[in-house]
A and B are shown apart, each in its own frame.
Chain A
């Protein structure tokens, strides 16, 4: 099963990267969100043999029996929330860009480039 998940996870990452390379900012944003999903799936795979036992200690036991790796799950849980926050912050930026510039094409957001080169007449130029 891990082979299937590895291929699917890598496939999701490939699609996500393809979207990130787009110049449409919304498409990029969706790509980032999907990249997080794919990465989480691959991280989950790193946690050990695939099992359907959740890492929860049974009522009558005091230690954890054989189950999925809890450390990886703790990592992924925060990663999901952080990835979500990242996606939303990008979303906020895209919305601001649209409101301010009326474009969601990355090429047209070039205010920094329009400022040109640093000033030319510095003393070191002689």
Chain B
């Protein structure tokens, strides 16, 4: 709790409680709002932030004079804590489909309306549950080529097939994505995936549990495990897998049955810097800027106009290129919405029992 901005200390009972409590001694140290305006953006750090700094943050500051400060890493829990306590460490963050649905349900997000970003500045379907869709990433199958020289699993059923593809497996500790893998492994067609048949999904997971040695939680961790050969098969983000390929690590990835998740920009409800936060989001999803940001990270831009400025060989590497998208499924926030809490709890219990 760095309490970086005095203007967030509006008086309310809850805020007073917090101010009187955890923050009491820090009040004298809280910086006064400076003459120059600033907004605080929650980032993933590393290459993500470098790319965002170069093509989104610095150009925004040049265009508007509003400084952008960053806080890493992305923390969903912190977003919730901020709104509860009224002490804002960041104003803007990106959320995946499942966090977006849960955050919106928990009333953590500033409501979108056309006064925030004019519709002319966006595209049809740009806004989902008060988040502005920015870029897509795919959860793909990747494997060590040295372990499977004749080719690894092409879909989740094969990933589940430990007889045909023996080896240590690794999946993300993230229920909404893993349950989609499990259902497709059990033969559910991508079109029938949502909402999830939870019983069937967990039954399918039971079959692979003992072969999953690690459940990764941070993307550098997933890369390290695969790079070191600690595991041989993994369900991971296309962005991190592509980085490994670019570093000449002997791995391959498959977009078949990839589970596509969408990152959306959101504004934390109640932050005193709402107006500038929305201005930044509007700026960040403009076609060419978003195209550059997506290209640097191998994301798929959600603004359809972005593709116009990209060469075809770059588009081919993106999870939302027409060819890759046809083989993939996109997580459906609306149909999964009521399931997220239940599945997260059940998944945690399943994992550690």
A binds B: no
Q: Contact residues of B with A, CB < 8 Å?
A: none
Q: Contact residues of A with B, CB < 8 Å?
A: none
